[in-house]
Amino acid sequence: MFDPRRPADYAALQRADSQYAPLLSAIDPDLGRFRQRGGKLIQYHGWNDQLISAENSIAYYESVRAMSEGNKARALHNVQEFYRLYMVPGLFHCGGGTGPNVFDLQTALERWVEQQEAPDAVVATHVTNRVVDRSRPLCPYPSTAIYKGNGDTNDAASFECRDVKQPAK
């Protein structure tokens, strides 16, 4: 049984990491060549992911943003021209959960690449017994879905994407 507290096991882990991390780890924030080739990236992460902390995706996004030039607002704009992160409330690891966990980011990516329509809010739904019982907009990070103050709280139309640090419109 593997135990990283044992010196031999820890050494084996270090060897494996040095050999395979360059191929398997996706932590390099320099996406410059990807962007220059016209690449578009959509990433999503569930807030209730029980295997990988949602904060990891936010940290990666912020590291890409930090590499962008300009002030903080300009850096966000630069990054959002090719990379969008969607944080999904209630989503477990890659699916399921109590939140809106049915959504189509593939079509959003295709429109972005083929028609230059950058995705803003993407509607996600929750289904119980084959019936949609809740919908929410998934907003590109750092924005989040904020209830407008009126309307059905189970309807995406009752929410708007906004940076929680910005005042309401």
Cis status of the peptide bond prior to 140, with omega within 30 of 0: no
- Side chain identity at 56, as an amino acid letter? N
Nearest CA to 140 out of 115, 98, 102, 108 is that of 108
Token pair listed for 31: 């996406």
- Rounded Cα distance between 159 and 138, Å, is 10
pLDDT digits (tens, 9 = 90+) for 123-164: 999 999 999 999 999 999 999 999 999 999 999 999 999 987
pLDDT, tens only, 14-70: 998 888 887 777 788 999 999 999 999 999 999 999 999 999 999 999 999 998 876
What is the b/e burial string over 90-128, where b = at least 16 CB atoms within 10 angstroms of the residue's CB?
bbbeeeebebbbebebeebeeebeeeeeebebbebbbee
* Coil, helix or strand at residue 62: helix
- What residues have CB less than 8 Å from 92, skipping those under 6 apart? 46, 48, 49, 50, 101
Q: Are 93 and 50 in contact (CB under 8 A)?
A: yes
Helix (H), strand (E) at residue 144: strand 143-147
Strand partners, 41: 83
* Per-residue confidence band for 166, with pLDDT thresholds at 50, 70 and 90: low
Distance of alpha carbon 146 from alpha carbon 151, whole angstroms: 12
State the DSSP code for 25.
-
- Model confidence band, residue 83 (pLDDT cutoffs 50, 70, 90): very high
DSSP 168: P
| Domain layout of the chain by residue ranges | 28-92+102-163
